Chains A and B, each alone.
Chain A
């Protein structure tokens, strides 16, 4: 299924950071949701800022408009504040895009666990992300770093505990 661009994408003012505060808030909200849905659609987890400038998200060749790099930084900062983005380096050149936050992943995983009555069982991380049982679930194929964070979120909520096993990590759900 091809990605569906929102109407703002073809609206030239979308690519100029609006000075009017109210207008800007709406604009940034639209940008955030565009970035997240694009990443979700293409299953992108890491973004390099330099590459992003040329990607179709920020560069609409059809209307010949590009979002300037300062504005891209503003959008990313908004995402970071909302908890959807994390910088990988101090120079802010690469980042992790969490189009679903760890807490949300954790919730999905826990729901699956509960639904199948597997509370109090222990899983290896591999089982969760790549096991046959989880095939078809949304979190199937989830990257390791994200899986770990989700489980940590569950741990904080008291719904799981990460344990160390002989050949890696595992998790017990309560």
Chain B
């Protein structure tokens, strides 16, 4: 196994891949090599082996090292093997996985078969000795610097290699450029900690700060964007926070709800509220929990879930029966309506108008006509 050298596994110009086989384990003589199962590749010039899991672990050996080789048939619990007897390493051999070995042969164990074809191809290559006809420059081992001795890059392999090198360069440049920023981040963290501690001191009225200075400091904080809305910090998380939030929502949503006919989908509420807040946005979960509290807090809003799972916030004064009766009137007047037509008629979103029509159907006031033209609702004449 000391005949192998580390390699990047890329083929040289004039070197062609003959066959590759996965599921191959290497043996240093009779001992299993301290490597996992991998892929064995035979080219016109070399025998290459790459680790199946760690593709960076790749080694190669020139075919000229091979004296002769033979098959070793599979046995019970043993895979078929090819035993390859080797010349001693040349003096200028590049470093590889093994410094030295007491054996002069290696074995390839074919755990996923393929040994017959591999053996045949190996025989061909050894017989033809194509590597003697088309000499290639010495393969570079990636252990040493990546830029030393670039090989001529021609063809797709060359292009790939160029791209890879360029990518590595870019990566390095970016990391260097942001080195300073990481220092800045550390400082910024300290600043935020400082302002937080001052803010809390102000709250607790500790320390010798006058009223005047407190106000001034608060305005500084505000200008920096650390205002004091109902946040988790000031009111903690949990129900208290949600209660305060629910009250805030109750005030905020009255007008929009009335504009929209008393009902808004929860997604619309989410967008509206967060747009108004600007900073310290609400998470969907917080919004949902706050909405669930409307009833217990006796606010004039309600969270309602339809059969289909759609959730809406509606005014308590909103009467469902009225809505359905008016829906029935609309449908009867027009003969029949689709959800889209109804939405346009009422200025509602399609989602909510569909929910209303479905509810009217559930109550038995409407019936449906489902065809390739779409879903249409008729007054229930049955």
Decide if A140 is an interface residue (CB 8 Å cutoff).
no
Q: Is the CB of A65 within 8 A of B364?
A: no
Q: Which of B336-382 contact A (CB under 8 A)?
A: 336, 361-362, 364, 367-371, 376, 378, 380-382
CB-CB nearest in chain B for A27 = B382
Residues of A within 8 A of B376 (CB): 12
Q: How far is the CB of B355 from chain A (nearest CB, A)?
A: 15
Q: Which of A99-124 contact B (CB under 8 A)?
A: none
In the docked arrangement, what's the CA distance between A13 and B337, Å?
Answer: 12
In the docked arrangement, what's the CA distance between A16 and B91, Å?
Answer: 87
Residues of A within 8 A of B381 (CB): 7, 11
B contact residues, total (Cβ < 8 Å):
14
Q: Is the CB of B371 within 8 A of A26?
A: no
Q: Is the CB of B364 within 8 A of A13?
A: no
A16-B370 in contact given A11-B381, A26-B382, A30-B382 (Cβ < 8 Å): yes
Decide if A53 is an interface residue (CB 8 Å cutoff).
no
Q: Is the CB of B362 within 8 A of A13?
A: no
Residues of A within 8 A of B371 (CB): 12, 15-16, 64-65
Q: Is the CB of A12 within 8 A of B378?
A: yes
In the docked arrangement, what's the CA distance between A20 and B364, Å?
Answer: 7
Task: Determine which residue in B362, B368, B380, B382 has the highest number of CB atoms from chain A within 10 A of its CB, and name it.
Answer: B382
Q: Which of A6-20 contact B (CB under 8 A)?
A: 7-8, 11-13, 15-16, 18-20
In the docked arrangement, what's the CA distance between A16 and B374, Å?
Answer: 12
Decide if A22 is an interface residue (CB 8 Å cutoff).
yes
Residues of B within 8 A of A11 (CB): 378, 381
Decide if A91 is an interface residue (CB 8 Å cutoff).
no
Residues of A within 8 A of B368 (CB): 13, 16, 18-19
Residues of A within 8 A of B380 (CB): 20, 23
CB-CB nearest in chain A for B376 = A12
CB-CB nearest in chain A for B367 = A13
CB-CB nearest in chain A for B373 = A64
Residues of B within 8 A of A15 (CB): 369, 371
Q: Is the CB of B369 within 8 A of A23?
A: no
Q: How far is the CB of B233 from chain A (nearest CB, A)?
A: 49
Residues of A within 8 A of B364 (CB): 20, 22-23
Residues of A within 8 A of B336 (CB): 12
Chain A interface SS verdict (over half):
helix
A23-B382 in contact given A12-B369, A13-B369, A18-B368 (Cβ < 8 Å): yes
Q: Is the CB of A16 within 8 A of B369?
A: yes
Q: Is the CB of A20 within 8 A of B361?
A: yes
Q: Is the CB of B369 within 8 A of A8?
A: no
- Contact flags (1/0) for A129-160 with B, using CB distance below 8 Å? 00000000000000000000000000000000
In the docked arrangement, what's the CA distance between A76 and B122, Å?
Answer: 72
Q: Is the CB of B369 within 8 A of A19?
A: no
Residues of B within 8 A of A13 (CB): 367-369, 378, 382
In the docked arrangement, what's the CA distance between A40 and B31, Å?
Answer: 90
Q: Is the CB of B362 within 8 A of A20?
A: yes
Task: Determine which residue in A20, A26, A30 has the highest number of CB atoms from chain B within 10 A of its CB, and name it.
Answer: A20
In the docked arrangement, what's the CA distance between A69 and B46, Å?
Answer: 67
Q: How far is the CB of B328 from chain A (nearest CB, A)?
A: 14
In the docked arrangement, what's the CA distance between A16 and B372, Å?
Answer: 11
Residues of B within 8 A of A8 (CB): 382
In the docked arrangement, what's the CA distance between A11 and B366, Å?
Answer: 13
Q: How far is the CB of B298 from chain A (nearest CB, A)?
A: 35
In the docked arrangement, what's the CA distance between A30 and B380, Å?
Answer: 14
In the docked arrangement, what's the CA distance between A13 and B362, Å?
Answer: 15
Q: How far is the CB of A52 from chain B (nearest CB, A)?
A: 19
Q: How far is the CB of B171 from chain A (nearest CB, A)?
A: 59
Q: How far is the CB of A66 from chain B (nearest CB, A)?
A: 8
In the docked arrangement, what's the CA distance between A22 and B363, Å?
Answer: 10
CB-CB nearest in chain A for B377 = A13
In the docked arrangement, what's the CA distance between A23 and B367, Å?
Answer: 8
In the docked arrangement, what's the CA distance between A27 and B378, Å?
Answer: 14
Q: How far is the CB of B381 from chain A (nearest CB, A)?
A: 6
Q: How far is the CB of A148 from chain B (nearest CB, A)?
A: 38
Binding site for A on B (CB under 8 A): 336, 361-362, 364, 367-371, 376, 378, 380-382
Binding site for B on A (CB under 8 A): 7-8, 11-13, 15-16, 18-20, 22-23, 26-27, 30, 64-65
* 26 chain-A/chain-B pairs, Cβ below 8 angstroms: A7-B381, A8-B382, A11-B378, A11-B381, A12-B369, A12-B378, A13-B367, A13-B369, A13-B382, A15-B369, A15-B371, A16-B367, A16-B369, A16-B370, A18-B367, A18-B368, A18-B382, A20-B362, A20-B380, A22-B364, A23-B361, A23-B364, A23-B380, A23-B382, A27-B382, A30-B382
Listed from nearest, the 3 A-B pairs whose CB atoms lie closest are A26-B382, A12-B369, A16-B370
Q: A15-B369, A20-B380 are in contact. List 5 more A-B contacts (CB 8 A).
A: A8-B382, A12-B378, A13-B378, A13-B382, A16-B367
